Amino acid sequence: MLKMSGRILCSLALLATAMAATGSYASEINLYSVNTGSFVYHLTGNKGQYNELFNNQFFSVERKFSEDSKYSVLVGTLKNSFDDRCLSLALRRDWYESNNSNWVFKGVYGYTGEFFFKSFSHCGDSGTYNTARKWTGVGFSPYLYNAVQYNFTRYVGVEAGIILPSVFAMSVQWSFR
């Protein structure tokens, strides 16, 4: 029963994310951004057992809820610490933005795990992903990421932060403002 509940919860989360990301107009392209070039380093003394550095192949598309919203939704993909392809669905919250908009302190909170496409089916094979699969039937891990982003221009920003509890991450954000 718990495994079926996990699958239903995952499906509902995906549906809600898809609904939030749709319904945009071409004139609202400035609400979108793309996140690429992720660098990951495990702070717990990785001795070669984890996928890291630039090998995680992170890519996501982000859409703000509105021009002045502090919230946005992200949909993307990455290779997790165990080198398995995962789907990422997350909500971003900008907690603080400097007056000149160059500095942003943000949090990204979401689901990273299996999805019904074959390429995402092994995400739950190891680690906390596998523990979640045993409990719910869906291999996933909640991602709690807090970062500082510096925007060089309206179009390009670089961020650095921690995926709790102990993974350092950096990436580049490309905006269409």
Q: pTM of the full predicted structure?
A: 0.76
Per-residue pLDDT of the chain (177 residues; tens, 9 = 90+): 344 334 433 443 444 444 444 444 445 787 999 998 789 888 887 777 787 888 888 899 999 998 888 999 999 988 877 878 888 899 999 999 887 779 999 999 998 777 777 667 767 766 667 777 778 777 777 889 999 999 998 899 999 999 898 889 999 999 987
Residue 108 bridge partners (DSSP):
92, 145
How many of the other CB atoms lie within 10 Å of CB of 48?
5
Domain spans of the chain? 2-21+32-175
Specify the pLDDT at position 96. Answer: 93
CATH architecture, range 2-21+32-175: Beta Barrel (2.40)
